[in-house]
A and B are shown apart, each in its own frame.
Chain A
Amino acid sequence: MDRVKRQLLRQAVADNLDTIRGLPPRSLRPARRFAHLFLRRAPLVIIPLMLASFAFLSSTGVPSTRKPAAIARPPAARHVEASMSPMLMTDTLEPVSASAFPLSVRRVVLDAGHGGSDPGASSISNVSEKEITLDIEKRLGALLRQNGFEVITTRDNDRLIPLRERARLANGSHSDIFVSIHVNSIPHPDNHGVETYYLGPTNDPTLTKLAATENLTSGYALADLRKLLDGVYADVRRDESQRLASAVQLQLFSGLRGVDPGLENWGVKRAPFIVLVATEMPAILAEVGCLSNEREAEMLRSGTYRQQIAQALFHGIHAYASANDAPQKKGT
Chain B
Amino acid sequence: MANDSEILPEILHVGIDLGTSRSAISASNGERFVVDSFVGWPADMVAKKVLKRDVLIGHEAVANRTMLDLHRPLERGLLKEGSDKDVEAVRELLKHLLRLVGVSSNGRTDASNVRAVVGVPAASLRTNKQYLRNSMKGIVDSLMIVSEPFAVAYGLNALLHTMIIDIGAGTTDFCVMKGRYPGEEDQRTLTVAGDSLDAQLLKLIEERYPQANVTVFMVREWKEKHSFVGEAPKRVLVTAPVKGVPTELDITNEMRAACETLVPPTVETMLDLLSRVEPEFQERVRNNIILSGGGGLIRNLSETLENALKQVGGGKVTHMADPVFVGSDGGLALALDAPDSDWEKLTA
Interface residues, chain A, CB within 8 Å of chain B? 1, 4-5, 7-9, 11-13, 15-17, 19-20, 22, 25-27, 142-143, 146-147, 254-255, 257-259, 261, 304, 308, 311, 314-315, 318-319, 322-323, 326
Whether B144 and A13, one on each chain, are in contact in the complex, defined by CB atoms closer than 8 angstroms, is: yes
Whether A26 and B179, one on each chain, are in contact in the complex, defined by CB atoms closer than 8 angstroms, is: no
A8-B154, A12-B334, A254-B190 given; A146·B159 CB < 8 A: no
Q: Please give 19 more A-B residue pairs, beta carbons under 8 A apart, in addition to A12-B146, A20-B346.
A: A8-B179, A8-B180, A12-B334, A16-B145, A17-B345, A26-B183, A142-B81, A143-B127, A146-B127, A254-B265, A258-B265, A259-B192, A259-B196, A261-B200, A261-B261, A308-B76, A311-B123, A319-B184, A319-B185
A25, B190: Cα distance in complex, Å:
21
Q: Within the complex, which residue of A16, A257, A315, A319 is in contact with B192, where a contact is CB–CB below 8 Å? A: A257
Whether A5 and B131, one on each chain, are in contact in the complex, defined by CB atoms closer than 8 angstroms, is: no
Whether A4 and B128, one on each chain, are in contact in the complex, defined by CB atoms closer than 8 angstroms, is: no
Whether B185 and A16, one on each chain, are in contact in the complex, defined by CB atoms closer than 8 angstroms, is: no
Complex: chain B residue closest to A250, CB-CB: B272
A16, B117: Cα distance in complex, Å:
11
Whether A17 and B346, one on each chain, are in contact in the complex, defined by CB atoms closer than 8 angstroms, is: yes
A326, B276: Cα distance in complex, Å:
13
Whether B133 and A20, one on each chain, are in contact in the complex, defined by CB atoms closer than 8 angstroms, is: yes
Q: Name which of A4, A8, A25, A322 has the most chain B CB atoms within 10 A of its CB.
A: A8
Q: Name which of A16, A25, A257, A319 has the most chain B CB atoms within 10 A of its CB.
A: A16
For residue B150, CB closer than 8 A to chain A, the reply is yes
Complex: chain A residue closest to B143, CB-CB: A16
Q: Which residues in window 179-214 of B have CB below 8 A to A?
A: 179-181, 183-185, 188-193, 196, 200
B257-269 to A contact mask, C-beta < 8 Å, 1/0: 0000100110011
For residue B231, CB closer than 8 A to chain A, the reply is no
For residue B160, CB closer than 8 A to chain A, the reply is yes
Whether A4 and B160, one on each chain, are in contact in the complex, defined by CB atoms closer than 8 angstroms, is: yes
A315, B183: Cα distance in complex, Å:
13
A7, B182: Cα distance in complex, Å:
12
For residue B130, CB closer than 8 A to chain A, the reply is yes
Whether B145 and A146, one on each chain, are in contact in the complex, defined by CB atoms closer than 8 angstroms, is: no
A16-B346, A146-B130, A255-B191 given; A1·B159 CB < 8 A: yes
Whether B133 and A19, one on each chain, are in contact in the complex, defined by CB atoms closer than 8 angstroms, is: yes
B139-172 to A contact mask, C-beta < 8 Å, 1/0: 0000111100010001001011000000000001
Contacts of A26 in B (CB 8 A): 183
Q: Name which of B81, B123, B183 has the most chain A CB atoms within 10 A of its CB.
A: B183
Complex: chain A residue closest to B337, CB-CB: A9
Contacts of B144 in A (CB 8 A): 12-13, 16
A20-B346, A142-B81, A258-B191 given; A322·B180 CB < 8 A: no
A9 to chain B, nearest CB (A): 6
How many Cβ-Cβ contacts under 8 Å join chain A to chain B? 103
Whether A12 and B268, one on each chain, are in contact in the complex, defined by CB atoms closer than 8 angstroms, is: no
B201 to chain A, nearest CB (A): 13
Contacts of B188 in A (CB 8 A): 254
Whether B184 and A13, one on each chain, are in contact in the complex, defined by CB atoms closer than 8 angstroms, is: no
A19, B126: Cα distance in complex, Å:
11
A1-B157, A8-B154, A257-B265 given; A318·B184 CB < 8 A: yes
For residue B280, CB closer than 8 A to chain A, the reply is no
Whether B128 and A146, one on each chain, are in contact in the complex, defined by CB atoms closer than 8 angstroms, is: yes
Contacts of B269 in A (CB 8 A): 254
A147, B265: Cα distance in complex, Å:
26
For residue B129, CB closer than 8 A to chain A, the reply is yes
A322, B346: Cα distance in complex, Å:
27
For residue B338, CB closer than 8 A to chain A, the reply is yes
Q: Within the complex, which residue of A1, A15, A146, A258 is in contact with B190, where a contact is CB–CB below 8 Å? A: A258
Contacts of B342 in A (CB 8 A): 9, 13
Complex: chain A residue closest to B154, CB-CB: A8
Q: Name which of A9, A17, A304, A314 has the most chain B CB atoms within 10 A of its CB.
A: A9
Contacts of A27 in B (CB 8 A): 183-184
Contacts of A315 in B (CB 8 A): 126, 189
A12-B181, A258-B193 given; A311·B146 CB < 8 A: no
B177 to chain A, nearest CB (A): 9
Whether B192 and A19, one on each chain, are in contact in the complex, defined by CB atoms closer than 8 angstroms, is: no
Contacts of B150 in A (CB 8 A): 12
17 residue pairs from A and B, CB less than 8 Å apart? A1-B157, A7-B180, A8-B159, A8-B180, A13-B342, A16-B143, A16-B146, A17-B346, A19-B130, A20-B133, A146-B131, A254-B269, A255-B191, A257-B192, A259-B196, A311-B78, A315-B126
A314, B261: Cα distance in complex, Å:
24
Q: Within the complex, which residue of A11, A142, A314, A322 is in contact with B185, where a contact is CB–CB below 8 Å? A: A322
